[in-house]
Amino acid sequence: MKIGILGVGHIGKTLARTLPAAGHDVKVANSRGPETIDPDVLANGARAVSADKAVTDVDVVILSIPLNRLMGVKPLIAALPSAGVVIDTSNYYPFRDARIEAIEAGQVESLWVVAQLGRPVAKAWNAIGSASFATKGKPRGAAGRIAIPVAADRDRDREVATALVEDTGFDAFDAGMLAGSWRQQPGAPAYCTDLTREEMAAALAAAEKARLPKRRDLGVAVMQERLGDGTTNPDAEWGVRLVRAINM
């Protein structure tokens, strides 16, 4: 597939490495210009381009940007054909994104994104930590392969997102419609807890929407307290253990 990725942060850069390795034609862009993209991100064949070129002549656009930058790419997304697939990897964190009143009032994050862009999206890769995503991919059928929930309202969006998740080394788990995608948001049992396909259904079912913001913010506070002095550098598994203790 021809894929454009907007954003090369923690999740975007792993997408830029794994999707070309799986045979896809990938273009990547950030907000600062193609010359600022680390060559390591392009090691497997992704091409650094401007944002407008990243969304031109592609089958899929993956948004890997903070929610507070969404409106900046809205004109680019508006120019896509209606049949094009848009996959959103973002999560709402008030300390980073500033307060979004509709989400604070209970609107599902993915539906807020749909409302801003004026088009359907699929939700994927938002419920895995960046370290796990970068290092824990496995071949199809491998024991202990981590599952990533995929939510979408259109069949085509779900099919494409599912196939691409599988291509990045993880089991895609059908999480249903976007209205239920709050079950894979920060604070939920399925969020960044590195579950297998067999464990994912129970985790999604166990989510309690009213508890998500408190758990999300508690996790952020603990991480900031632990890492904020700049001298503590726990291993990647520390984050998974922390989120499991809080969210599950």
Of 156, 105, 98, 152, the C-alpha closest to 125 is 152
Q: CATH number, domain at 174?
A: 3.40.50.720
Is position 38 within any domain? yes
pLDDT band at 227 (very low <50, low <70, confident <90, very high): confident
**Structure tokens that stand for 61 in this block:** 């656009």
In the numeric block, the tokens 């370290």 are attached to: 131
pLDDT in tens, 112-131: 999 999 999 999 999 999 99
Is position 212 within any domain? no
Residue 59: CA count within 13 A, CB half-sphere: 11
For 209-234, what is the mean pLDDT?
Answer: 86
In the numeric block, the tokens 């920060």 are attached to: 186
pTM, full prediction: 0.95
Q: Is residue 147 within a helix (H) or strand (E), and if so which, with residue range?
A: strand 147-152
Is position 240 within any domain? no
Is position 59 within any domain? yes
On average, the pLDDT of the chain sits at 95
Residue 57 Cα to chain centre, angstroms: 23
Of 84, 94, 85, 107, the C-alpha closest to 179 is 107
For 148-160, what is the mean pLDDT?
Answer: 98
Is position 64 within any domain? yes
Is position 220 within any domain? no
Is position 185 within any domain? no
pLDDT band at 228 (very low <50, low <70, confident <90, very high): confident
* Segments forming the whole domain that contains residue 64: 2-178
Number of compact structural domains in the chain? 1
**Structure tokens that stand for 47 in this block:** 């091409």
Is position 224 within any domain? no
What is the predicted pLDDT for the residue at 230? 62
